[in-house]
Structure 1
Amino acid sequence: MTEIRTPRLLLRRWHDDDLAPMADINADPRVMRWVDDGSVLGLERTAEDIEQWEEEWDEEGFGLFAVELLASGELAGFTGLSVPAFLPEVLPAVAIGWRFGSQFWGQGYASEAAHATLEFALQDRGLDRVVGISRVGDEASQNVIRKLGMALERETAHPEYGFALHVHSIDLTEFQA
């Protein structure tokens, strides 16, 4: 089983008891503001997403980690790797992403988890390059991307929703562990 420990977090595969807290995160309009069309997601859709994330782990050897706080055992959200099939112009690529409950914002958890995930991608999984895709205006995500050392590669539009996206990237030679 793939697990990563950071000073404050455990990045791990998904458990059945993660469904309810992840559904709570997905039901928060503040969290979902920058995701797709901004719609909140319910319990059923969250269960489908977790099942899909677990399948990606089995098929690709990487996926989205559940992020647990070591101090309390709470599920804070997710971070991890996925193939950004929604944006064919960047393929082949592996993207890093994250989503955290709003009560966990502003504490450095996203940056801590994302850095560990990027190290996992480039050193453990042997990927040569990772992209970060964020909506223009999502300053919190763009701040995490900057902290990872990723450079702006292009601006494009979401093919379904039309809003502007920034695509950043980093390769193995640029990564600072």
Structure 2
Amino acid sequence: MTEIRTPRLLLRRWSDDDVVPLSEINADPAVMHWTGDGSPLDPDATAGEVERWEEEWDDEGFGQFAVELLGSGELIGAVGLSVVADDLPGLPSDVEIRWRLGRQFWGQGYASEAAQAALEFALQDRGVDRVVAVVRVGDHASANVAEKLGMAAEREITHPEQGHALQVYAIDLTEYAA
């Protein structure tokens, strides 16, 4: 089982017990505002999301991690890697890093801490050469996390279905190692 420990967090694979606490996070409109079409997810959609993430782990050797606080074991969200959706223009088979934390965990550096561990996992353990972050324009908190990871703004694209502007940040292995 793949696990990563940071000073405050445990990043691990998903279990059935994670669906309820993740459903609570996904039900918060503020959390989901910048994700997908901005709609909260119900428990069935959340269970499907976890199932897809676990399938990606099996298929790709990486995926979204369940993120929990080391001290309490409380699930605080999801951070990890995914192959970019086919519908996003100009990002063929890039690996994307994503993060989503419960609102009560914002502003404490958890997203950056977990994302840094996931980025290192991608570039050093899984042999990924390039990682992107696709951030909705206006989501300043996520843009800040991408920049803390050393990612550079590369270009802006438009989501083909939802029509909103997305900023693509990127880093490759040579930039990460420098």
Q: TM-score range by the shorter chain?
A: over 0.9
- CA drift at 1:15: 1.0
Is 2:166 the counterpart of 1:165?
A: yes
**Post-superposition shift, 1:37?**
1.3
Structure 2: which amino acid aligns with 1:124? D
- Displacement of 1:176 in angstroms is 4.8
> How many pairs align?
177
Aligned to 1:57: 57
What is the CA deviation profile of residues 107-132 of structure 1, one whole-angstrom value per residue up to 9, with x for unaligned ones? 00000000000000000001110001
Structure 1 Cα separation of the partners of residues 93 and 138 of structure 2:
26
**Aligned residue in 2 for 1:124:** 125
Q: Which residue of 2 aligns with 1:42?
A: 42
Q: 1: distance between equivalents of 2:119 and 2:142?
A: 15
1:136 corresponding residue in structure 2: 137
1:68 counterpart residue number:
68
SS at match of 2:90: helix
In structure 2, stretches of 5+ residues that fail to align are none
CA contact (8 A) 2:156 2:167 kept: yes
Q: Distance in 2 between matches of 1:68 and 1:154?
A: 33
Equivalent residues of 2:89, 2:157 under 8 A apart? no
Report the alpha carbon displacement of residue 5 of structure 1 after superposing the two structures with TM: 0.2
User: Where does residue 6 of structure 2 map in the other structure?
Assistant: 6
Aligned with 1:89: secondary structure? coil
Q: In the alignment, is residue 26 of structure 1 matched against residue 23 of structure 2?
A: no
**Alpha-carbon distance in structure 2 between the residues aligned to 1:84 and 1:128:** 14
- Paired letter, 2:167: H
Letter matched to residue 152 of structure 1: A
Unaligned runs of 5+ residues in structure 1 are none
- 1:116 maps to a residue whose letter is A
Report the 3-state secondary structure (helix = DSSP H, G, I; strand = E; otherwise coil) of the residue aligned with 2:128: coil
- The Cα RMSD (Å) is 1.0
**CA 1:130 to 1:107, structure 2 compared with 1: closer, same or farther past 3 Å?**
same
Letter in 1 for 2:170: S
Amino acid at match of 2:39: S
Contact 2:65–2:79, Cα closer than 8 Å, also in 1:
yes
Distance 1:159 1:9 in 2: 35
Matches within 5 A, 1:103-122: 103-122=104-123
SS state at 1:10 partner? strand
Identity fraction in percent: 68
> What's the offset of the Cα at 1:155?
0.3
Question: If the length of structure 2 is used for normalisation, what is the TM-score?
Answer: 0.97
Matched position secondary structure for 2:10: strand
2:175 aligns to what SS in structure 1? coil
Q: Is 80-89 or 21-30 further displaced after alignment?
A: 80-89
